[in-house]
Copies of this chain bind each other. A is one copy, B any other.
């Protein structure tokens, strides 16, 4: 998907909501466990109920790999379902991959070609030649970790070298990589005060922002410092939406939670 299509979709829906499909069999409504593929059954209902309010879905691969072959199959069915029924939706494989060049190419093939995702998240530790193989795919996006939402972000990401925090070096350096126009970045909502600094380095790049809701980040604070004229933000919520209820009405409950966020987003867009 081209970035312009994502922006159109945001404008059309008045939403920059991404829904995280982090499916844990211990947390989904128990009546679904009798389905042949409970993970896919859960995702399908969530997607059907919320697709008009969200512009992106983001399955985190960990939750699928934990169930082995069965999980990988559910991931495949989920992305196929999205691509067939809602091709206007931007899809993110939250995989946080990264390896030496020829190996990163295999990961890129796995997520872009075999599964057909629009984007994949990657980790920056191994540098340029671990990320560029992902960037070479046309109309695909690579979302690199910059400043994450967890406590461990303070262990290494904010270390100052030559007057600059590591996450700033990661952002700056990556803008010089080949096909860097295909880069987006992960910046946690729990670090809203950092967005102004980040926008000095990547003024127009899309930022994928986890941490609103369960992790305590504030949507309005993030937008105050991070929003651009083309919005430039994808705000992710996972648990806060998909586990809104464990009853048979879970999909409607998820829709209500998604609607709350979408209405907040609409107000923010209208105020720009």
- Residues on A lying within 8 angstroms of B by beta carbon are 22, 24, 60, 62-63, 65-69, 71-73, 76, 96-101, 103-104, 106-107, 109-111, 114-115, 123-131, 145, 148-157, 159-162, 166, 169-170, 173
Contact = CB atoms under 8 A, between A and B. Distances in A.
Contacts of A71: 110
| Best-surrounded residue of A60, A114, A126, A161 (most CB of chain B within 10 A) | A126
A268 to B, nearest CB: 26
B100 A97 contact: no
Given A126-B148, A159-B162, A159-B169, 11 more contacts: A62-B107, A63-B103, A96-B99, A100-B148, A100-B149, A124-B125, A126-B157, A129-B150, A129-B152, A159-B161, A160-B162
B150 A161 contact: no
A39 B90 CA distance: 32
Contacts of A169: 156, 159
A22 B24 CA distance: 30
